[in-house]
Structure 1
Amino acid sequence: MVLVFGYIRPQKSELLVREYDQYKAVYCSLCRQLGKSYGMMARLTLSYDCTFYALMQFAVGTECPGFHAGRCVVNPLKKCAYCNVGEKELIAASALSVIMTYYKIKDDIADSHFFGKLRSFFLLPFAAHARKRAARDFPWMDAVVSRSIEKQNKTEQGDNPCIDACAEPTSEMLRQVFASIAGKPEDPESAEARILRQFGYYLGRWVYLIDAADDIGKDLRSASFNPFILKFQLSQSSTQEELDKVQNYANQVLNHTLSQLIAALNILDLNHFRPIIDNVVKKGLPEIQKEILFKKEKMHVGSL
């Protein structure tokens, strides 16, 4: 199950200095909020993905946060910037961060080898405590993530599951998470809510697919489940030509998914941070896709 992603990040070289400073300020503000809400250890769950969730909440909202200079909460010798407002958005992003991390650790315990299990068992008590507090304040969020994991496990354990079925739980999870940004429970079918659901769905699908493509080599070595390996019947004796075929197929389905994601973004009304959001989706994600599929050292049969 894809939970802590790390793929949803900007292409920094294409951001203006002002825009990058704003992005960093939201990132640092989320780090500080994680510590305030769930303790110092919770800062280890900080990710680009939940930073993007916080940014999207700000972008759709009516109030744009200003920023002020401060000291890094981890390294007091380092200067950084923080949001002046937006505690509600940062609290929600913090809750999502610790909830996803908890279920990721549980998943690692079930799937990892000895040393992976040992590390996960060590982290589990801290994650469980933070998740309990987050689930108390955001029960709907915990339920969404929990249901997605249950559905993912059932799908992967089924008979010959297709790639679309495997991507569905993560797609559905982010569909519901991003729909919550609309903040209009009295009007769940508003145009804004529908677009955010569409945006979240295709973002979740892209994340699942890129993670699966990124893990092909590792999953071949460990004989772990991977929908691309299953579809193309790959093994450690597969030729480079067969691996290239999978790579090109993955690129096609990712490009189609990305086109749907961008289409949803283009019709979404954003009040703030449009250049940063556009950068992440239209430049950051394609660059990561290119890097994973084409810039990484090619897999050779002998290295699998």
Structure 2
Amino acid sequence: MFGYVVINKPELKFKEFDVYKSFYCGLCYSLRSRYGFVGQFTLSYDMTFLVMLLTSLYEPKVAHSEHKCIRHPLKAQPMSSSIYSDYVADMNILLSYYKAMDDWNDDRSVLKLAFAKLLKTKHPDDGFDYNKKAEVISSLLTELGTREKENETNIDVMAGLFGRIMSVLFVPKDDQWAASLSRIGFFLGKFIYILDAYDDLEEDIKKNHYNPFKSICNEQGFDDRIKGMLQMMMAECSKEFEYLPILENAEVLRNILYAGVWTVYYKNLKERRGEDVASDNTIKEDD
């Protein structure tokens, strides 16, 4: 998806990293099992966070196994999966499908249309309300696209729309934890949108693409203003997380919320300023 919601690897214990990686591989396996190889193309570390969050909160049965894959054809990889691995796989496909269709409607990209058709696969019914979620996601993505065409510069409006999309994905069922999960998804979604727009700013200016920060990027204190926005989003997100009665994998999840989400930001900020990037603390695909 985006690759912003990741771990800060040096701050994790080896065992914690192994657990995180096993859930990542478990999500990959769910995508492959349910949607084939095309499903694996949508795999992201962002959604691995959601798998671990829901699994740690609801404490369903977790299956531990080992499987080989295209990336690791010789050595079987440890995998951890639960019913929420399948749920998140389905949500990932829903979001990817409607995003591809939205791109097709905007740009008439044949590749996007072909990708969307490949993604349009029936998924097993696990008792989750997919139809309602699909309707909301489609509607919000359409509104987001419309606002972009209108060159909307209000970042709170734009980030809020994506935040609402993420809030839908973060709530698998209507229960006592739904409100907190929705708010975590909302503020994390706003963080992702703001950081993505900030990250893409220079390229969007060069290619004359839409970006809500174009009109203010040369103002004094712009970088500090963006950092303030991002800090506010993560403060709200983390506050909601701490309300949840999570014990299992809590330190891994905190690593992501308090440190991991900032690794890409600081790396890109140094690059924008022409500073040397000494190290990259984000996880690599081959780790």
TM-score by length of structure 2 reads: 0.85
Q: Determine if contact 2:99/2:141 at 8 Å carries over to the other structure.
A: no
Superposed CA RMSD in Å reads 2.5
Gaps of 5+ in 1: 235-241, 300-304
How much identity, in percent, do the aligned residues show? Answer: 23
Deviations 1:193-228 (A, max 9, x none): 222222111101101100010010111011111111
State the Cα distance separating 1:148 from its structure 2 match.
1.6
Distance in 1, Cα, partners of 2:151 & 2:271:
32
Distance in 2, Cα, partners of 1:258 & 1:59:
20
Q: Determine if contact 2:152/2:158 at 8 Å carries over to the other structure.
A: no
Check if 1:212 corresponds to 2:187. Answer: no
Alignment of 1:143-162 (within 5 A): 143-158=135-150, 160-162=152-154
Alignment of 1:216-235 (within 5 A): 216-230=201-215, 232=216
The structure 2 residue matched to 1:104, chosen from 99, 103, 108, is 99
Q: Determine if contact 2:151/2:212 at 8 Å carries over to the other structure.
A: no
The structure 2 residue matched to 1:69, chosen from 48, 66, 69, is 66
Q: Determine if contact 1:135/1:142 at 8 Å carries over to the other structure.
A: no
Distance in 2, Cα, partners of 1:80 & 1:106:
34
State the Cα distance separating 1:71 from its structure 2 match.
2.6
User: Would the alpha carbon gap of residues 122 and 179 (structure 1) be closer, same or farther in structure 2, given more than 3 Å must change?
Assistant: closer
- Larger fraction in helix: 1
The structure 1 residue matched to 2:2, chosen from 2, 5, 12, is 5
Check if 1:179 corresponds to 2:171. Answer: yes
Residue type of the alignment partner of 1:204 = G
Check if 1:265 corresponds to 2:250. Answer: no
User: Would the alpha carbon gap of residues 135 and 158 (structure 1) be closer, same or farther in structure 2, given more than 3 Å must change?
Assistant: farther
Residue type of the alignment partner of 1:105 = A
State the Cα distance separating 1:152 from its structure 2 match.
0.9
User: Would the alpha carbon gap of residues 257 and 221 (structure 1) be closer, same or farther in structure 2, given more than 3 Å must change?
Assistant: same
Distance in 2, Cα, partners of 1:65 & 1:276:
17
Residue type of the alignment partner of 2:200 = D
Q: Determine if contact 2:151/2:210 at 8 Å carries over to the other structure.
A: no
User: Would the alpha carbon gap of residues 297 and 134 (structure 1) be closer, same or farther in structure 2, given more than 3 Å must change?
Assistant: farther
Moved over 6 A (4+): 134-137
The structure 2 residue matched to 1:120, chosen from 98, 112, 126, is 112
Distance in 2, Cα, partners of 1:21 & 1:73:
20
Distance in 1, Cα, partners of 2:43 & 2:24:
8
TM-score by length of structure 1 reads: 0.80
Q: Determine if contact 1:206/1:258 at 8 Å carries over to the other structure.
A: yes
State the Cα distance separating 1:244 from its structure 2 match.
6.6
Residue type of the alignment partner of 2:52 = L
Check if 1:59 corresponds to 2:92. Answer: no
3-state secondary structure, aligned to 1:68? strand
Distance in 1, Cα, partners of 2:194 & 2:231:
11
